[in-house]
């Protein structure tokens, strides 16, 4: 199986790039952020405060009460919490914050580790996240770290939120992007960082098509699905 790890900060364009590369190659695209978001949504709905103090209670409730599954419909990943498609609900600012908090808890990362590895073991995948190249798939065939300047990432995220009808300002989104960058890179457990053997791609100055075709070619030249 070919495993491609694609890590990077919020708004770098990872998911749309990874999804399109996977479509062109006939690979499965896995958005691991959606798994953290779904765990966060589940806890928020249950009224459980997400903090270190509640870590074991959170892990307990996830193990005992949450069934998390993903499915691919028309190339789009859908994620299900106990059978309910929550793909839309997990994209709010509230759940973004809660996902950032829950992803800092080692017990939650442990809970999601096997889910991610087992998907990669049986499929040609492009898996997007924060620690795919460093922790989840350290032996990935190819590791890519995608980034862009914070202002550019905030503008992309802002456009996405506005298109969904959200009433936010660009300034608020930039504050949120910086806050999440800080949390993701400073947490003790599996912080966001470029794997030593990852290829760095900065999308600040290159457009979507250029990024996608460059990465698709890289995957084709480095990885053999028949191997």
Closer by beta carbon to ligand DC, 100 or else 147: 100
Copy the structure tokens of residue 166. 């959200």
Closer by beta carbon to ligand DC, 103 or else 216: 103
Look at residues 151, 140, 176, 153 and name the one whose alpha carbon lies nearest to residue 16. Answer: 153
136 vs 73, 130, 209, CA distance in Å? 25, 10, 28
Task: Give me the 111-150 binding string for ligand DC, x by CB under 6 A, dash otherwise.
Answer: ------------------xxxx------------------
When asked if residue 10 is in the footprint of ligand DC (CB under 6 A), the reply is yes
When asked if residue 8 is in the footprint of ligand DC (CB under 6 A), the reply is no
Q: Which of 36, 42, 111, 158 binds ligand DC (CB under 6 A)?
A: 36
What does the alpha-carbon distance between residue 20 and residue 14 come to, in Å, rounded to a whole number?
10
Least spacing, CB of residue 114 vs ligand DC, in Å: 14
Least spacing, CB of residue 37 vs ligand DC, in Å: 5
- Whether residue 146 contacts residue 17, with contact meaning beta carbons closer than 8 Å, is answered with yes
Least spacing, CB of residue 178 vs ligand DC, in Å: 13
- Order across the sheet with 68-73: list the strands: 68-73, 76-81, 84-85
Least spacing, CB of residue 195 vs ligand DC, in Å: 13
When asked if residue 176 is in the footprint of ligand DC (CB under 6 A), the reply is no
Single out the segment in contact with ligand DC by CB under 6 A; choices: 49-57, 98-106, 117-125, 202-210.
Answer: 98-106
When asked if residue 180 is in the footprint of ligand DC (CB under 6 A), the reply is yes
Least spacing, CB of residue 227 vs ligand DC, in Å: 26
How many chain residues bind ligand DC (CB under 6 A)? 14
3-state secondary structure 148-165: CCHHHHHHHHHHHHHHCC
- Whether residue 4 contacts residue 142, with contact meaning beta carbons closer than 8 Å, is answered with yes
Look at residues 97, 94, 69 and name the one whose alpha carbon lies nearest to residue 84. Answer: 69
Copy the structure tokens of residue 163. 């298109």
What SS3 state is found at 72? strand
When asked if residue 99 is in the footprint of ligand DC (CB under 6 A), the reply is yes
DSSP structure class, residue 54: G
Residues that bind ligand DC (CB under 6 A): 10, 32-33, 36-37, 99-100, 103, 129-132, 180, 184
């Amino acid at each position: 199986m070919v495993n491609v790890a694609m890590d990077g900060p919020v708004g770098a364009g990872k998911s749309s790039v990874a999804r399109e590369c996977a479509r062109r190659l006939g690979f499965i695209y896995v958005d691991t952020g959606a798994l953290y978001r779904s765990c966060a949504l589940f806890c928020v709905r249950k009224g459980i405060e997400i903090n270190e103090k509640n870590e074991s209670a959170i892990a307990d409730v996830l193990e005992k009460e949450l069934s998390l599954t993903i499915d691919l419909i028309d190339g789009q990943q859908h994620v299900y919490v106990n059978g309910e498609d929550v793909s839309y609900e997990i994209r709010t600012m509230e759940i973004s914050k809660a996902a950032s908090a829950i992803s800092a808890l080692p017990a939650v990362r442990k809970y999601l580790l096997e889910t991610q590895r087992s998907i990669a073991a049986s499929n040609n995948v492009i898996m997007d996240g924060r620690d795919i190249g460093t922790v989840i798939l350290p032996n990935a065939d190819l590791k890519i770290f995608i980034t862009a300047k914070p202002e550019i990432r905030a503008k992309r995220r802002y456009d996405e939120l506005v298109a969904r009808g959200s009433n936010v300002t660009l300034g608020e989104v930039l504050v949120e992007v910086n806050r999440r960058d800080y949390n993701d890179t400073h947490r003790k457990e599996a912080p966001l960082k470029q794997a030593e053997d990852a290829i760095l791609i900065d999308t600040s100055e290159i457009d979507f098509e250029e990024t996608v075709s460059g990465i698709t070619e890289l995957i084709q030249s480095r990885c053999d699905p028949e191997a």
